[in-house]
Amino acid sequence: MSKKRTPLKRAKDFALYVTMRKALNEYPRFALGGAGHILLRAPEGNMPGEYSTAAFHVLYPDEDILKADSGYMLLDDTMKEAKILTEFESECGTKERSIIVAASNAAIPAGIKVAVDTILDIEPIGPRALRIAARVVLKIRMSEEQAAQLLKYPTEHMWVALRRERKVDDVIQKLAQTPRNEAPTGRPKPSQASASLAEMHGYGKAKEWGLQLARDLFEWSVGIIPWDDVDKGLVLSGPPGVGKTVFAKALAAECGVELITGSLGQWQATGHLGDTLKAMRATFAKAKKAAPAILFIDEIDSFGDRSKFAPDNKDYSTQVVNALLEQIDGIEGREGVVVIGATNNLENIDPAILRAGRLDQLIEIELPNASDRIAILAAHLKSGFTASDLEALKVATQEMTGADLAKATREARRIARLAKRPVSVDDVKVSLPAMVKIEGEMRHYIAVHESGHTLVGNRLRHGIFMGTTIVDAISAQNTSARGGAAYFDMPLIARRDRQYYCDQIAVMLSGIAAEEIVFGAFADGGASDLAAATRIATLMESRFGMGGTLRHSLAAQDAELERLRQFDRHLSERVHRTLQEEFERAKTILAEDRRLLDHVTSELVGEGSLTPHRLSELMDQNAEGAAESAERLSA
């Protein structure tokens, strides 16, 4: 089916089209349909995206968009030079004709300046453009004086007030009676984000998905792709504070659409079941009316899983979930609405919500890594700090969420305000939790533990050894944070038989095995290792058929596996036996390499890290030392 450019049905779009045509008239060859690449600067106060429909009418006056040899791109003040040049090459560079619309304050890279034929300024909408748009689109005739009077009022008020059935003088009178700080009736205030999604840090795959969605929504809006090619549903998971709501706001801003929010708690607050369902439907209807829009459902796991409902509220809860599914299904036929759910507990969501065609995209937002944490701090401080200025704060911010970092920067700015001076790195340090140094006996203990993981993992060739580290300090607020780790790169695709899982258990238990060899007993720092090993041993018995029975169990969550162990004594005994056997195997491996264990431990205590190359050197030195000892004994 032919894809035609979007009609100029809105008076605002037509007025912007008039101002764009006027600017292009300064380059007649292009204005008359000739080849060329033109950069147009939007006037101050106008976003580049506002000119999208106008630009497509210039580029594709009557032909099929998919067949036309024309390109179009936006350039705002947040885009980096490399991204601008890459996008120009893919969107415009190979085309015969193209238009770039830039924000008034956007920096134009030298590469773009030499690539385009000319740079032109678009004038703000004036009385002439307004009169033409009103006459053509709204069938309203007005004098130049009336048009000038209308343009004195906020444009967002003016465009919604101008309607075919209204007289111009009545519109002017209505605008005069409306306070300027009052949002126009029927137009909710657009979502605001502290930064564009493109400039935000710590969102990984979610950010990639969001930027692609922004491009897809734009291409759908101008008729390049059908709605079926746009991702219509996403569930964001992750611990509290990682910024799921902030992401939704930034995404709406990036896409240039309205953000509409809702949650089960918000809908239930209105009353009984009928009121809850009515409130839910009203939110979805609001999103449909505002399309294109993003509908954000917070804590979507609170709807629950119908298969786990208790009998006393099963009917009520089932009806609520069914109503949600009905509304999400309806979105497929309501073009322009993307539904995003957020959750801290993905396992509590009804599988039907995640079914293909509904919210079928699942992305986890993890805690930001060290470089992302520093970038987030720099973005919040807004005081010219670079990543290198804040490098010393990587350890102090370990395990902190985006919300934690925002709180710390607020406190730093408060300290600076009270001192009546600019904020400093020291202000940020004071605002972060105190640090506890890892030294002495504790450093030795952690080094022994991580050496055990390193050597057993390497001996069993359970993945590719990538390195081992121990930290110099941990936050006093988060003393449960890991003091170190041994890293192994595991293949995504492998044959996982019983021996594979037994090796995995042995590696997990090798930390406490090393402690027992060196200290005579292990401490509580290996609890998470023991929990993971117990989980795998239970799955071998209950789900994978690799134990005492081939019986398969659907249990997969930790709570379900714990119940299996509690109520099946024989299974619990087999799990215990597997754990004990692999614990002893790990101790045997480490006892055989006791000299190497001590050398690796000393390396970690002194250097704080161990590379694969350094491990190979220590292994070679240990082998040479063992050979020399054997020669002396034989002599």
Q: Is pLDDT above 80 for 270?
A: no
- H or E element: which one contains 343? strand 337-343
> Residues 213, 138: one domain?
no
Q: Which of 121-125, 175-179, 296-300 has the lowest mean pLDDT?
A: 175-179
Which of the listed residues 323, 339, 364 is the one where a domain comes to its end?
A: 364
> Residues 464, 424: one domain?
no
Question: Strand 293-298 vs strand 258-263: parallel, antiparallel, or unpaired?
Answer: parallel
Domain assignment present for residue 316? The answer is: yes
> Residues 348, 466: one domain?
no
Domain assignment present for residue 632? The answer is: no
Is 480 or 592 the better-scoring residue by pLDDT?
A: 592
Average pLDDT, the chain: 85
Place 195 in a pLDDT band, splitting at 50, 70 and 90: low
> Residues 444, 557: one domain?
yes
Q: Is pLDDT above 60 for 494?
A: yes
pLDDT of residue 624: 77
Domain assignment present for residue 499? The answer is: yes
> Residues 395, 457: one domain?
no
pLDDT of residue 15: 92
Q: Is pLDDT above 90 for 531?
A: yes
> Residues 121, 132: one domain?
no
**How far apart are the two ends of the chain, measured CA to CA in Å?**
90
Q: Which residues contact 474 (CB under 8 A, 6 or more apart)?
A: 395, 398, 435, 436, 438, 481, 483
AA identity, residue 273: L
Tokens describing residue 332: 């497929």
Domain assignment present for residue 359? The answer is: yes
Q: In whole angstroms, what is the distance from residue 257 CA to residue 188 CA?
A: 11
Is 361 or 69 the better-scoring residue by pLDDT?
A: 361
Q: In whole angstroms, what is the distance from residue 52 CA to residue 223 CA?
A: 12
* Range picked from 25-34, 414-423, 534-543 for highest mean pLDDT: 534-543
Domain assignment present for residue 376? The answer is: yes
Q: Which residues contact 255 (CB under 8 A, 6 or more apart)?
A: 213, 214, 217, 218, 292, 294
Q: Is pLDDT above 70 for 346?
A: yes
User: Mean pLDDT across the stretch 599-617?
Assistant: 93
Which of the listed residues 337, 364, 391 is the one where a domain comes to its end?
A: 364
CATH number of the domain residue 420 falls in? 1.10.8.60
Q: What is the pLDDT of residues 32-71, one digit of tens each?
A: 888 999 999 999 888 888 888 888 888 876 655 455 678 8
User: Mean pLDDT across the stretch 202-217?
Assistant: 86
pLDDT of residue 182: 45
User: Mean pLDDT across the stretch 87-112?
Assistant: 87
Place 6 in a pLDDT band, splitting at 50, 70 and 90: low
> Residues 48, 115: one domain?
yes
Q: In whole angstroms, what is the distance from residue 133 CA to residue 34 CA?
A: 26
pLDDT of residue 602: 94
> Residues 25, 119: one domain?
yes
Which of the listed residues 125, 157, 190 is the one where a domain comes to its end?
A: 125
Place 600 in a pLDDT band, splitting at 50, 70 and 90: very high
* Range picked from 230-244, 258-272, 545-559, 601-615 for highest mean pLDDT: 601-615
CATH number of the domain residue 253 falls in? 3.40.50.300
> Residues 332, 466: one domain?
no
> Residues 392, 449: one domain?
no
pLDDT of residue 5: 47
User: Mean pLDDT across the stretch 211-232?
Assistant: 83
Q: In whole angstroms, what is the distance from residue 441 CA to residue 443 CA?
A: 5
Supply the pTM of this predicted model. 0.55
Neighbour count for residue 332 (Cβ, 10 Å): 14
> Residues 109, 254: one domain?
no
Is 492 or 340 the better-scoring residue by pLDDT?
A: 340
pLDDT of residue 370: 81
Q: In whole angstroms, what is the distance from residue 368 CA to residue 371 CA?
A: 8
Domain assignment present for residue 49? The answer is: yes
pLDDT of residue 4: 45
User: Mean pLDDT across the stretch 10-26?
Assistant: 91
Positions marked catalytic: 450
Place 223 in a pLDDT band, splitting at 50, 70 and 90: confident
Range of the domain at 576: 440-617
> Residues 295, 271: one domain?
yes
Tokens describing residue 501: 């899982």
Domain assignment present for residue 4? The answer is: no
CATH number of the domain residue 480 falls in? 1.20.58.760
pLDDT of residue 632: 66
Domain assignment present for residue 239? The answer is: yes
Inter-residue long-range contacts of 267-276, CB under 8 Å, 24+ positions, other chains counted: 273/316, 273/319, 273/320, 276/320
Percent of the chain with pLDDT over 90: 31
The domain tally of the chain equals 5
Q: In whole angstroms, what is the distance from residue 20 CA to residue 626 CA?
A: 82
